[in-house]
Amino acid sequence: MRSATRFLQAGPGPRARRAWQLLLVLLMLAVCALAFAPHPPPALDTGWDKRNHLLAFGSLACVAELAFWPARWRRCKVLLGLLAFGGFIEIVQSQIPERSAEWGDLLADGLGIALGLAVIAALVRLGRRRASKSPSA
């Protein structure tokens, strides 16, 4: 429990950040594969396209936040970088015959990013609160 609280308070160490960065690249490749496929697998579909975007980009934002933890302005960079990634996906989808580009998808991407960043921020606050209440603090 102490290591989880320390992680939530201080963030991942250098070795863990490399693992988060690798996971981020793999997630981005998976999102591209799903977004560019003419017919994504039904098992990975939530039933509503906007929910798919929200969950994908929320996950990407959580992982990106941990991958670039100590960097100044990381939240702004994560937000802008992932929004640009979402825009790239929409541009490519506009060129795929059975896919289409939608502003609503980019909005869902942005909401997912905000949700992911909010989750990480809440977990960090929780970790700091727990650390300040622990007897060893």
Give residue-wise pLDDT tens across range 89-137.
999 999 999 899 999 999 999 999 999 999 988 988 888 787 777 766 5
For the chain, give the percent of residues with pLDDT over 90.
55
Show Cβ contacts of residue 48 under 8 Å, excluding neighbours closer than 6 positions: none
Domain count, the chain: 1
**DSSP, res 137:** -
Is residue 85 within 8 A of residue 24, CB to CB? The reply is no
Q: Write down how long the chain is.
A: 137
User: Cα–Cα distance between 54 and 119 in angstroms, integer?
Assistant: 13
Confidence class for position 58, pLDDT limits 50, 70, 90: very high
Q: Which domain holds residue 34?
A: 2-133
For the chain, give the percent of residues with pLDDT over 70.
89
Is residue 56 within 8 A of residue 112, CB to CB? The reply is yes
pTM, 2 dp: 0.85
